[in-house]
Amino acid sequence: MYKEVAARIRELISSGELEAGQALPSERKLAAQFEVGRAVIREAVRQLEASGLVESRHGGGNYVREITSEHLVAPIASLLNSKAQLRGELMDARSLFEPQVAREAAIRATTEDLLLMEAVVIRQAERVSKGQPTAEEDAEFHALLAHATRNSVVERVMGVIDDLLEDVYERLSQHGERSQLSLEGNRRILEAVQSRDPDAAQRAMAEHIEDIAAHFHPGGGIHDLEHPDAAKGA
C-alpha cells in the first residue's frame, strides 16, 4: 500500500499541485486523504525521500525538493549498475545518442566551449606522445561536448554513461595504439564542431564510436564490449 501512496504523492508533485519547497500535509491529513494508516504514510514518505523527491528538514516537516536532471536519470543509473549484462546495450545506446550530442554541440557551443575542448585535446595529445593513459582526457572531452548542448538532462545522461563504462575506457587508454585512435577521433569531432558543421560532427562521432568498438575487439563491434574477458585478449 505504501508504494501506491508514494506513487500518488509523486503524481501530485509532477502535476505541480505540490510545488518545490512546499511542505507535505501532516501524516494525519495524508492518512485521511488516502484512507490508510499513518504507518503506511511514513513508509511512503521514506521511499520518496530515498528517491530524492522529498526531504526531511531540521525542526520537523517533510518538504518537496526541486526536481533536477539528477532525479530523472538516477533510476536509469541504478538499473544499469545492477545489471552488468546491459553494458553492451549501453554502448549501443551511446552510438545512437552521442552523434546527436556532437551535432547539437556544433550548433550551440560557445567560444569558451571550443577553447576548453581544444585544450583537452592538446593535453590528450601530449599524454599520448608520452605513452600515458588518456581515459580522463577522453571522458572530459565528451563531457564538454554534452555541456555545449545546453541541456542538463543530456549532460547528466552522458555523465552516467561515462561512469558506467569507466572500466572500458580505462582498458582502452592503457594501449598506446588505441589511445592514438581515440585522440584522432576526438580531433575530427573537434574540427567539425569548430567549423560549425553539424552533419560532419554527427558523422565524426558515429565513426569514432564504431572505430573504438571494432578496434577494441577486432572482428567485432559495439556489442563485444559487453565481454571484458574478450576485450582483454584483443
**pLDDT value, residue 145:** 97
Q: Do residues 24 and 64 make contact, with C-beta atoms less than 8 angstroms apart?
A: yes
- Decide if pLDDT at 223 tops 50: no
- Mean pLDDT value across the chain: 81
Integer CA distances (angstroms), 18 to 9, 51, 67, 70, 183, in order: 8, 16, 12, 19, 48
Strand partners of residue 23? 63
**CATH at residue 59:** 1.10.10.10
> Which of these, 151, 115, 123, lies nearest to 139 by C-alpha position?
123
Domain containing 26: what range? 2-64
Type and span of the H or E element at 63: strand 62-64
Same domain? For 145 and 59 the reply is no
State pLDDT tens for residues 174-205: 556 678 888 999 999 999 999 999 999 999 99
Cα(151)–Cα(133) distance, rounded to whole angstroms? 30
State pLDDT tens for residues 150-174: 998 898 888 877 776 665 566 555 5
Cα(127)–Cα(24) distance, rounded to whole angstroms? 53
**pLDDT value, residue 228:** 40
**CATH at residue 219:** 1.20.120.530
- The two counts, helices (H) then strands (E), for the chain are 12, 2
Same domain? For 56 and 89 the reply is no
- Decide if pLDDT at 234 tops 50: no
Same domain? For 25 and 102 the reply is no
Read off the pLDDT band of 221 (50, 70, 90).
Answer: very low
Same domain? For 175 and 222 the reply is yes
Same domain? For 56 and 87 the reply is no
- Decide if pLDDT at 215 tops 80: no
18 or 215, which is more confident: 18
Cα(212)–Cα(149) distance, rounded to whole angstroms? 23
Same domain? For 60 and 22 the reply is yes
Cα(146)–Cα(141) distance, rounded to whole angstroms? 9
Cα(232)–Cα(172) distance, rounded to whole angstroms? 9
State pLDDT tens for residues 104-142: 999 999 999 999 999 999 999 999 999 888 888 988 999
